[in-house]
Structure 1
Amino acid sequence: MRLIQFQTVQGQRHVAVVEGDTLLVVNGAASTRELALDAIRKGHGLAEEVCARGTQPSPSSYRQTLQDGRVLAPLDHEDPAHCLISGTGLTHLGSASTRDKMHQQNIGDQAALTDTARIFQWGIEGGRPPAGTAGVQPEWFYKGDGSIVVRPGAAFEKPAFAEDAGEEPELTGLYVVGDDSKPYRVGFALGNEFSDHVMERRNYLYLAHSKLRNCSYGPELRVGELPRNLSGMSRILRGDEVVWEKEFLSGEDNMCHSLENLEYHHFKYAQFLRPGDVHVHFFGTATLSVADNIQTREGDRFEISMEAFGEPLINGIKAGAAELPAGQVATL
């Protein structure tokens, strides 16, 4: 089952099941979050909750709803401060070589290269522990709250101070924390973990800065288990021209960490277990256009596709707001 959240022309929110180009609107569901919380309270799965409520066809087709820009991120929170966006890196086979290739532009930064290789090797050796046990912890980063999320089809803002506007084609895990303070995985979605790789390249310790950008995920939420071997395509389009494209792999067969291990090391922190909160976690990638020396421009479009997730995730790039001038923080 694949779900989307969308708005009607009048601005009303709905959840719908995707069936080809038809949207089957879930009765009495204005958000995926509330639908998931009700399922948790009733002790059954999300798909069962959808079936129990029933559906009715939307008057608008799925394709038209996408073209109109009315498709929302497939899971969100009405208060953006209660939606945490985070991620893990060096989780996919090949991701260390991609990271090293990117950092080779700064040959003097040997410490970053060494740490990259070391953390990746730790993942190879201990990132897939037996079920129910904790393995080695991955690289982890904070990206922002729900206010940084750009809906499918909309453009990312490139901050005035940014040095790069680069894509990261990834899978995301979407979670809701139940009334019992336990995390529940709602499903998975395609994601673009938009980042500033030129800033990161200057020094690996700038990684935290480079991640504080927009992101997008969706348009569809896949309910249920994730296939172990997944292949997708990441493209950059400039007008009608494809200026770069490359296959990207995901799923546990292509990762050095198990999903269970990545989830454990995120939700082991008590502050991430606040009832009702939403968590969106990017699982990492081994495929980046910046590693092939591609420089994006305002007006470019990113297209991330994977057959198992339905329609592709498409986002553009536009100029962001002017930055706050230095010295403008007031003292009270």
Structure 2
Amino acid sequence: MDRIIDSVDRHGVRWVGIVQGKGASATVWQVEDAESSQALAVRFMRSKQSWEHFKSNLSLVAVPLEALSLMTFNVPLRPVRDAVCMVSGFGYTHRSVNGLPMPQRSSPDWYYKGNGKGLVAASRAIKSPCHASGAGIEIEYACVYLIDDCRNPRYIGYTLAVDFSDPVLRHTQPGLAGLSKLRNTALCHELVIAEPPRYSVVRSSIVRRGETVWDKQSLLGLDQLMFAKRELEALLFQHEELCEPGTVHYVLLGASLSTDKDAFELQHGDVIRASSQEDGLQLSNLFEDEVVRQSCNC
């Protein structure tokens, strides 16, 4: 499986790459004449070619795998203008959460998470605003779409996401549940150019002052969904208001791991880790509470 990465090297130069394989056996190629991963994806979309055919016409330069350790990664496909990006998600879609079975539902929930401003790269801090009531995470796959010139959604790929929200607000004021989701979304720095796996073991842990205080694993993937991916796509993209040409959509498919299900709440300084076994995707993000930061002028 090929993955697109968007990064800045130690000299401050931005470049787009393609990673083939995973782990120590991966190979890395720099895409010449690609100013951003979004620009590359637009070219791919407009080519109307398969990814393999499109890739065969790219000018690629081999890059040592160890060079990635010196890179700072951007969120894949994130536009320069936050306003042309939309982050949203479906809830209550998975057959199990935290390894426990969930009741069958006739329809999922849907929620809006904001524009591109709320996206966080894999190694950067997730921040809770001063007005927040609480802090929790869910681990999900995020599918990425581009709206083409004919207002049609074009699927590009998927990645692993940490869906950050305010479960305390959601539980104490159910009428404001939608607002509880207007929080950061952290995304792995690799966008896999393929459909999400049928299933994958995912794991997440919270490390607090050097000790693991929460650790769970479960199954994530298309076979774990109560609703087919095409059904979720149809529910969302039937609305013309969401299909403005050039818009980048990050769509969360629902969680199989949740701190809220365990009544666990994040604290300032916690490190959030998540990984997916099948595709090797992983994230590690520091959690920062703005109330604590401002009280100590951090």
Please, what TM-score do these two structures have when normalized by structure 1? 0.80
CA distance in 2: counterparts of 1:73 and 1:211, whole angstroms:
19
Give the deviation of 1:248 after TM superposition.
2.5
Give the deviation of 1:54 after TM superposition.
3.0
CA distance in 2: counterparts of 1:321 and 1:294, whole angstroms:
19
CA 1:56–1:299: 2 relative to 1, 3 Å: same
Among 267, 274, 288, the residue aligned to 2:258: 288
CA 1:284–1:311: 2 relative to 1, 3 Å: closer
Q: Deviations along 1:205-231, whole A, 9 cap, x unmatched?
A: 221111011111122111112221121
CA distance in 2: counterparts of 1:73 and 1:277, whole angstroms:
15
Among 60, 70, 73, the residue aligned to 1:71: 73
Q: 1:267 is matched by which residue type in structure 2?
A: F
Among 119, 142, 161, the residue aligned to 1:172: 142
Among 34, 40, 44, the residue aligned to 1:39: 44
Among 267, 275, 294, the residue aligned to 2:245: 275
- How many residue pairs get aligned? The number is 287
What is the aligned-residue RMSD (CA, Å)? Answer: 2.3
Tell whether the 8 Å contact from 2:99 to 2:217 is kept in structure 1 after alignment.
no
Q: Deviations along 1:299-330, whole A, 9 cap, x unmatched?
A: 101111012333411111113379xxxxxxxx
Q: Deviations along 1:96-127, whole A, 9 cap, x unmatched?
A: 99899xxxxxxxxxxxxxxxx7xx5214xxxx
Q: How does 1:313-332 map to 2 (within 5 A)?
A: 313-320=283-290
In terms of fraction of residues, the more strand-rich structure is 2
1:4 alignment partner in structure 2: 5
CA distance in 2: counterparts of 1:300 and 1:198, whole angstroms:
18
CA distance in 2: counterparts of 1:260 and 1:279, whole angstroms:
15
CA 1:17–1:298: 2 relative to 1, 3 Å: same
CA 1:50–1:62: 2 relative to 1, 3 Å: farther
Q: Deviations along 1:122-141, whole A, 9 cap, x unmatched?
A: 14xxxxxxxxxxxxxx3111
2:34 alignment partner in structure 1: 29
1:48 alignment partner in structure 2: 53
CA 1:62–1:223: 2 relative to 1, 3 Å: farther
Worse-superposed segment, 231-240 or 168-177: 231-240
CA 1:24–1:262: 2 relative to 1, 3 Å: same
CA distance in 2: counterparts of 1:236 and 1:63, whole angstroms:
25
Please list every run of 5 or more consecutive structure 1 residues that lacks an aligned counterpart in the other structure: 101-116, 124-137, 323-332
Q: Deviations along 1:65-117, whole A, 9 cap, x unmatched?
A: 3xx5x1111121111100000001011113599899xxxxxxxxxxxxxxxx7
Tell whether the 8 Å contact from 2:273 to 2:284 is kept in structure 1 after alignment.
yes
Seq. identity, %? 29
1:122 alignment partner in structure 2: 106
CA distance in 1: counterparts of 2:214 and 2:199, whole angstroms:
23
CA 1:98–1:140: 2 relative to 1, 3 Å: farther
Among 161, 165, 168, the residue aligned to 2:131: 161
Please, what TM-score do these two structures have when normalized by structure 2? 0.89
SS in 1 for 2:272: strand
Pair member with larger Rg: 1
Among 220, 224, 229, the residue aligned to 2:199: 229
Q: How does 1:171-190 map to 2 (within 5 A)?
A: 171-190=141-160
SS in 2 for 1:48: helix
1:91 alignment partner in structure 2: 93
Tell whether the 8 Å contact from 2:41 to 2:77 is kept in structure 1 after alignment.
no
CA distance in 2: counterparts of 1:203 and 1:26, whole angstroms:
48
Tell whether the 8 Å contact from 2:7 to 2:15 is kept in structure 1 after alignment.
yes
2:16 alignment partner in structure 1: 15
